[in-house]
Amino acid sequence: DNHVENAVEKLESCTQIVDAASLLKNGEVVAFPTETVYGLGANALSNEAVEKIFAAKGRPSDNPLIVHIAAMEQLPSVASEVPAKAAQLMDAFWPGPLTVILPNSDRVASLVTAGLHSVGVRMPDHPVALALIGAAGVPIAAPSANRSGRPSPTTASHVLADLEGRIAGVVDGGATGVGVESTVIDVTVEPPMILRPGGITREQLEEVIGPVRLDPTFQAGAEETPRAPGMKYTHYAPEGEMWLVAGEDPRVREEMKEMLREAKGLGRKTGVLATEESADFWRAHPDADVVLSVGSRADLQEVAHRLYGALRDFDDSGVQFIVGETFPRDGLGMAVMNRLEKAAGGRIRKV
C-alpha cells in the first residue's frame, strides 16, 4: 500500500544519499537536487575534485563556482569574514535561493574561486541537498548540473540527458521547486549589488538591508562585462532561433503571427513559448507547430518553475524558430526575463 511504498521510497533515497556522500568524500562528482535547479557537486576544499566538475560540464575555468553548506558551522571553512548585511541576509533567507559573495577563506580550492578573492556561498533549502552535504562533511562546490550552454536541469532526467557517463551519479529528488537559479548578491560593495537575479527578489532583499543596485550590465545591449563572470557567457541558446516580442496585445499577437508566417514560409519548424492565457489560441493557429505553455501570467512562480523544461522541450522536438511572450520585470519576473533574454541572445522585438 501507499504507506509501505512511501517508506520504501524514503529508504531508497537514504541509501542514495549515503552512497552519494561517500562518492563526494572520495573526490568524485555527484549531481543532486536543490530547491532551484540540480547542482553538480564536489568537495569545495579539493582542487582535484573540483577539476572534475569543469571537465564534466565543459565549463570555462574562469567562471567561479558557488559553495553550498548545510549548517552555519561550515561557513568559516569557506569565508574569512561575514559583513553585517551578509549576516542579516543569511538570517532572513537561508536556507534558500540566495548566494552571498564573501571574502574567501584560503581553504577553498582555487579552482572554485577562479582566482578571485571572493567566494559565493549558499545554504540550499532542500532536504536531500542538506542531508547530502551534511553527510559528506565538507562544503560542496556545485554549479548547475548541465553541460555548459544548455538550460539548467530541473529534473534528474535533464541531468542524465546532459551528463550521463561523465559523472559518478545523480541523486533523484524529483522536480526542483523554484526552477531558476539563486540570486547572487555582492555585499562587499556599498550599496550591495545583485550580480544575477534569481529566486529571491530585489524587493525581498531591500526589505531586509535597504537599497540594492542591479549590475547595470543586465540591460540588453550593455557593453560592459558583467561582474559575475558566468553572466557573460551565452548561457543557453536553443538550437532554434528564438525571439521575444514585447508590448501590448493585440499588437504582440499580430507580430508573433507575422513572424511565424514568415518562418513557415521559409520551411522552418516553429514553436511558441506561450502562457495559459494564450496557449489555446496558438494551438489553433496553423503556423505554430509546437506550443508550450509555462503556466499563467498571473503566477510567475509557476512560470519560473516550468521555463527551463520548456526550453529543453523545444530542442528535443527540433523546433527551428521560436517566438515567446515577455513578462513584467517585478518580483520573480526579473529572473524570468533575464533567462529569457539570454535564451533569445538579446533578440527582442518591441511593438
Farthest CA pair distance, the chain: 61
Selected binder of ligand TXA within 21, 100, 119, 212 (CB under 6 A): 119
**Collapsed DSSP state (helix, strand, coil) of residue 334:** helix
Total residues contacting ligand TXA by CB under 6 A comes to 29
Q: Choosing among Mg ion, ligand TXA, none, which partner's interface includes residue 135 (Cβ < 5 to 8 Å by kind)? A: none
82 lines the binding site for ligand TXA (CB under 6 A): no
105 lines the binding site for ligand TXA (CB under 6 A): no
CA-CA distance, 28 to 38, in Å (whole number)?
16
Q: Which stretch binds Mg ion (CB under 5 A): 143-151, 262-270, 285-293, 299-307?
A: 143-151
148 lines the binding site for Mg ion (CB under 5 A): no
CA dihedral 310, 263, 324, 253 (to 10 degrees): -140
> If you count them, how many residues does the chain have?
351
Q: Determine contact, residues 183/122, Cβ cutoff 8 Å.
A: no
Q: Choosing among Mg ion, ligand TXA, none, which partner's interface includes residue 228 (Cβ < 5 to 8 Å by kind)? A: ligand TXA
Selected binder of ligand TXA within 80, 118, 157, 217 (CB under 6 A): 118
What residues from 277 to 336 belong to the interface with Mg ion (CB under 5 A)?
A: none
Which set of grid coordinates corresponds to residue 294?
Answer: 509555462
Indicate the residue among 34 and 293 with the shorter CB distance to Mg ion. 34
101 lines the binding site for ligand TXA (CB under 6 A): yes
Selected binder of ligand TXA within 43, 105, 154, 182 (CB under 6 A): 182
142 lines the binding site for ligand TXA (CB under 6 A): yes
Pairing state between β 183-186 and 193-196: antiparallel
CA distances to 181, 274, 316, 324 from 259, rounded to whole Å, are 31, 15, 22, 11
Q: Choosing among ligand TXA, Mg ion, none, which partner's interface includes residue 151 (Cβ < 5 to 8 Å by kind)? A: none
Total residues contacting Mg ion by CB under 5 A comes to 1
- Give 146's DSSP letter: S
144 lines the binding site for Mg ion (CB under 5 A): yes
CA-CA distance, 40 to 37, in Å (whole number)?
10
Selected binder of ligand TXA within 21, 65, 130, 132 (CB under 6 A): 65
Dump the DSSP string for 151-207.
PPPSSHHHHHHHHTTTSSEE----S-SS-SPPEEEE-SSSS-EEEE--SS-HHHHHH
Nearest approach in angstroms of CB 170 to ligand TXA is: 13
167 lines the binding site for ligand TXA (CB under 6 A): no
Residue 349 has a CB neighbour count (10 Å cut-off) of 17
182 lines the binding site for Mg ion (CB under 5 A): no
143 lines the binding site for ligand TXA (CB under 6 A): yes
CA-CA distance, 41 to 161, in Å (whole number)?
17
Q: Determine contact, residues 187/46, Cβ cutoff 8 Å.
A: no
Selected binder of ligand TXA within 36, 43, 105, 154 (CB under 6 A): 36
Interacting residues toward ligand TXA by CB under 6 A: 34, 36-37, 39, 63-66, 97, 99, 101, 113, 116, 118-120, 124, 142-144, 181-182, 184, 195-196, 228-231
Interacting residues toward Mg ion by CB under 5 A: 144
